[in-house]
């Protein structure tokens, strides 16, 4: 294999990188200039609006007033568009700053979309938004700017359509196919980012509503305390007033005790001013409503022949509408509504998955204490052969029997999934043996805690269950680390990946229908882990093996393919097993013990749990190269022919480096 220094001299490398840097700086400068021009135009429109408003109020002529109203309407539309343009530029800059790109593409009607912010490569590590602080915290790096006013009006629905694998075109506001200057205001997100964006802005709306409710309550309180003391006392002195106070206060104080309280004490316990509740929000995803602009996106990006239509009541004839055209009594093409229903269901799956992930992160944080899952009291008996440190959940020194049980379990799992030794070393994984007890703080026989790098397994129900549980938790580890490798939290966050397809196929095939299952058993990453678990168990012990799944006093072994949360063996072998084998083949490098981490296979000292460092000679930052290449390619499309040659040469050089 040729070395980089054999391909390029140091001077050539420096020239290529400088060229990329100069072009990127030029792009940022042009973008900043665009922002300034749009900001000036917004100011001009606002000043014009003020003048028209004053003129409208000063004249009585009906015709002239109507002309002014028409101008104001046009200005309002233009102002809305210009504000959207500013946000679009902010989206471009935000995407570029955080690892995304800016791209161009065409829809199925031939329309070109330019300067589109692509967030799909931006990391989505932060998935929790605190309502109490969301109005002052910076939005996560993958959250784009949107038209928040329209988002609220539309019940939390964004116009979006799938462009390609796990990539969705999302409209800043209502999708408009024809717009000013030939540009529609759109950006690109993954499904994960799309749902998180919706959740973020819904949480922000709730915070805004709560802030308004608090403001009104405070105003009511201030108004009340301007009243004379005598009037406030008369209020509390009304006949039978005690029976109107909150029941919780009545439980604490008898009527006699209440009457003996001072005015100040009564006002604290049962305020006389009005307290306002926040306006409730409900997502339109829970209804069967589909917006016409979503239909327009389907027509533009999926099938130009799928059009909205109206029916002439006299002749019963259909008249098909153009994209963006509206009217009374408009019908949707049936294929569009079927697409919407499937899309809505997928969004709801993702919403539940994210809610489950948030809850699990919270639970793991609470239970991930040092004694049970940390680095203390670990031993390296299995480190050189299996890449893991081992410990006991209760903090005692792990015994030989428990080490052997972990060793057998790992050996069996490696035999069916592949060798994970180097992955475990790289991620500093610990196996916490819980003995015959359930995992500390959780009613479970096993768990994987990513932030502690720990897999916990119980031997409560015997050897087969122990190995079965280990395969389930290792499947979570695989899902997690492959996801991170591909820029996600979990590989199953991409529903279109093979891991995602395994999870969906498994969920749709479970012995108990998915609509009767809990959110936990329906969670996508849990379905993937159980699919991998069933594969391991049936490959290791045979199709008819009985295992324990769950926990409790009266749990008894049952054939895995008969259990409610697993799949019958005929369907599993025909549909899911081939998908798992495809998944393992696609990711065989992940399981290879030939993946060397520098000097990691050097002799490991018996007394040390330190992991040997990776030895890598870094010539140039790969992310920097990819970013430079994407920027150059984007700008190449906008340059005149005479200027393209030099930029193309720079792209060729950088692509050699990146490979």
**Segment 313-325, tens digit of pLDDT:** 888 888 888 888 8
| β-strands 430-433, 454-457 pairing | parallel
476 within 8 A of 448, measured Cβ to Cβ = yes
Question: Averaged over 502-522, what is the pLDDT?
Answer: 87
Q: Which of 32-41, 306-315, 575-584: highest mean pLDDT? A: 575-584
pLDDT at 148: 92
Confidence check: pLDDT of 67 > 50: yes
How far is residue 178's CA from residue 324's CA, in Å, rounded to a whole number?
8
pLDDT at 491: 94
Helix or strand run (H / E) with residue 49: helix 10-58
pLDDT of res. 438: 76
**Residue 212 scores a pLDDT above 90:** yes
C-alpha 538: how far from its chain's center? 33
CA 507, CA 162: separation in Å to the nearest integer?
23
Given pLDDT bands bounded at 50, 70 and 90, which one contains residue 195? very high
The answer to whether 283 and 157 have CB atoms below 8 angstroms apart is yes
Ramachandran assignment for 441, one of left (phi > 0), alpha (psi -120 to 50 degrees), beta (any other): left
Query: Do 323 and 300 meet the contact criterion of CB atoms below 8 Å apart?
Result: yes
Q: How far is 503 from 491, CA to CA, in rounded Å?
A: 11
- The CA-based dihedral angle spanning residues 533, 539, 544, 547, taken in that order and rounded to the nearest 10 degrees: -40
Average pLDDT, the chain: 82
- Residue 531: pLDDT over 70: yes
Whether residue 548 is predicted with pLDDT greater than 90 in this model: the reply is no
**Lowest mean pLDDT segment, chosen from 51-60, 185-194, 284-293, 628-637:** 628-637
d(CA 39, CA 60): 34
Residue 580: per-residue pLDDT: 95
Tokens encoding 381: 């008996």
Share of the chain above pLDDT 90, in %: 37
Name the residue with tokens 């720990």. 454
- Least confident span in 339-353, 404-418, 530-544, 622-636: 622-636
Other beta carbons within 10 angstroms of residue 539's beta carbon come to 17
The whole-model pTM stands at: 0.75
Is residue 483 over pLDDT 50? yes
* Least confident segment among 41-50, 279-288, 339-348: 279-288
pLDDT tens, 78-136? 887 788 788 888 898 899 888 888 888 989 998 888 889 999 999 888 888 889 999 99
> Does residue 301 or residue 379 have the better pLDDT?
301
Which residue, chain included where needed, has tokens 């409730």?
Answer: 280
User: Residue 9: what pLDDT?
Assistant: 63
Residue-level pLDDT at 5 = 44
Mean pLDDT of 610-616: 28
| CA separation for the pair 586, 199 (Å, rounded) | 33
Highest-pLDDT range among 3-7, 36-40, 216-220, 344-348: 216-220
Give residue 369's pLDDT: 57
| pLDDT tens per residue, range 554-607 | 567 888 888 889 999 999 999 999 999 999 999 988 886 543 333 333 332 232
Q: What residues contact residue 85 under an 8 Å CB cut-off, 6+ apart?
A: 38, 183, 185
What whole-number distance in Å separates Cα of residue 442 and Cα of residue 447? 9
pLDDT of residue 340 exceeding 80, the answer is yes
The per-residue pLDDT for 73 is 85
Calpha distance 55→49 (Å, rounded): 10
pLDDT at 4 over 70: no
Q: If 0-12 CB within 10 Å is exposed, 13-18 middle and 19+ buried, where does residue 576 land?
A: buried
Per-residue confidence (pLDDT) for residue 594, from 0 to 100: 42
Beta bridge partner(s), residue 309: 320, 331
Residue 613 above 50 pLDDT? no
Assess contact for 401 and 355: CB atoms under 8 A: no
pLDDT at 606: 32
Token pair for residue 303? Answer: 């099938």
Residue 539: its pLDDT value, please?
A: 93
What 631-637 contacts at long range (C-beta under 8 Å, 24+ apart), as own/partner pairs, is 631/20, 631/23, 631/24, 631/27, 631/96, 631/101, 631/102, 632/20, 632/23, 634/27, 634/101, 634/102, 634/103, 634/104, 635/23, 635/26, 635/27, 637/104
Q: Binning pLDDT at 50, 70 and 90, where does residue 478 land?
A: very high
* Structure-model confidence comparison of residues 265 and 611, the more confident one: 265
* Per-residue pLDDT, 336: 93
How many CA atoms within 13 Å lie on the side-chain side of 527? 32
**Neighbouring C-alpha atoms within 13 Å toward the C-beta of 442:** 26
Instruction: Inform me whether the pLDDT recorded for 500 exceeds 90.
Output: yes
* CA separation for the pair 454, 353 (Å, rounded): 22
Sign of CA dihedral 166, 169, 174, 177: negative
Instruction: Sort residue 316 into left (φ over 0), alpha (ψ -120 to 50) or beta.
Output: left
**Confidence check: pLDDT of 169 > 80:** yes
The pLDDT of residue 167? 93
CA distance 193 to 182: 27
Is the CB of residue 155 less than 8 Å from the CB of residue 385?
A: no
| Helix, strand, coil abundance in the chain, percent, nearest 5 | 55, 10, 35
* Strand ranges across the sheet with 101-106: 101-106, 112-118, 186-189, 167-171, 160-164
């Amino acid at each position: 294999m040729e070395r980089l220094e054999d391909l390029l001299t140091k001077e050539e490398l420096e020239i290529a990188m400088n060229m990329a840097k100069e072009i990127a700086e030029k792009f940022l400068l042009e973008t900043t200039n665009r922002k300034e021009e749009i900001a000036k135009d917004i100011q001009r429109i606002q000043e014009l609006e003020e003048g028209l408003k004053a003129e409208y109020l000063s004249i009585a002529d009906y015709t002239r007033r109507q002309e002014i109203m028409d101008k104001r309407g046009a200005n309002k539309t233009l102002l809305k568009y210009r504000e959207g343009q500013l946000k679009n530029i902010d989206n471009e800059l935000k995407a570029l700053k955080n690892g995304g790109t800016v791209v161009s593409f065409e829809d199925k009607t031939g329309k070109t979309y330019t300067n589109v912010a692509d967030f799909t490569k931006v990391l989505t590590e932060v998935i929790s938004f605190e309502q109490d602080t969301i109005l002052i915290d910076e939005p996560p790096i993958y959250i784009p700017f949107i038209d928040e006013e329209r988002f609220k009006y539309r019940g939390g629905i964004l116009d979006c359509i799938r462009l390609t694998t796990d990539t969705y075109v999302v409209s800043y506001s209502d999708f408009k196919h024809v717009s000013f200057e030939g540009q529609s205001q759109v950006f690109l997100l993954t499904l994960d980012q799309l749902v998180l964006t919706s959740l973020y802005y819904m949480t922000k709306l709730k915070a805004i509503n709560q802030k308004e409710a608090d403001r009104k309550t405070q105003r009511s309180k201030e108004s009340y305390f301007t009243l004379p003391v005598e009037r406030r006392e008369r209020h509390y002195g009304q006949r039978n007033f005690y029976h109107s106070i909150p029941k919780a206060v009545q439980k604490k104080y008898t009527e006699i005790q209440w009457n003996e309280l001072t005015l100040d004490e009564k006002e604290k316990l049962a305020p006389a001013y009005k307290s306002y509740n926040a306006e409730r929000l409900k997502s339109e995803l829970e209804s069967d409503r589909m917006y016409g602009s979503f239909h327009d996106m389907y027509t533009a990006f999926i099938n130009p022949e799928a059009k909205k239509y109206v029916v002439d009541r006299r002749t019963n004839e259909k008249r098909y509408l153009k994209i963006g055209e509206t009217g009374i009594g408009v019908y949707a093409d049936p294929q569009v509504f079927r697409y919407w229903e499937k899309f809505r269901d997928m969004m709801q799956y993702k919403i539940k998955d994210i809610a489950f992930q948030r809850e699990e992160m919270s639970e793991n944080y609470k239970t991930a204490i040092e004694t049970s899952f940390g680095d203390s009291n670990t031993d390296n008996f299995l480190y050189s052969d299996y890449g893991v440190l081992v410990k006991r959940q209760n903090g005692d020194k792990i015994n030989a029997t428990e080490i052997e049980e972990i060793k057998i379990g790992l050996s069996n799992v490696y035999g069916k999934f592949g060798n994970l030794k180097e992955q475990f070393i790289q991620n500093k994984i610990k196996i916490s043996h819980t003995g015959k007890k359930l995992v500390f703080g959780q009613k479970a026989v096993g768990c994987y805690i990513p932030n502690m790098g720990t897999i916990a397994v119980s031997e409560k129900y015997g050897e087969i269950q122990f190995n079965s549980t280990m395969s389930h938790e290792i499947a979570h580890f695989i899902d997690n680390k492959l996801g991170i490798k591909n820029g996600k939290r979990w590989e199953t966050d991409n529903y279109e990946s093979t891991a995602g397809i395994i999870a969906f196929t498994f969920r749709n095939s479970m012995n108990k229908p998915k609509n009767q299952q809990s959110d936990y058993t329906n969670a996508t990453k849990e379905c993937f882990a159980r699919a991998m678990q069933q594969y391991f168990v049936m490959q290791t012990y045979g199709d008819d093996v009985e295992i324990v799944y769950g926990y409790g006093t009266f749990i008894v072994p049952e054939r895995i393919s008969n259990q409610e949360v697993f799949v019958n063996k005929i369907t599993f072998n025909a549909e899911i097993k081939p998908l798992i084998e495809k998944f393992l083949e696609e990711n065989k490098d992940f399981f290879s013990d030939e993946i060397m981490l520098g000097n990691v296979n050097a002799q490991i000292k018996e007394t040390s749990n330190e992991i040997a460092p990776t030895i890598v000679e870094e010539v140039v930052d790969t992310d920097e190269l990819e970013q430079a290449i994407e920027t150059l390619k984007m700008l190449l499309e906008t340059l005149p022919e005479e200027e393209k040659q030099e930029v193309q040469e720079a792209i060729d050089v950088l692509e050699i480096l990146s490979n």
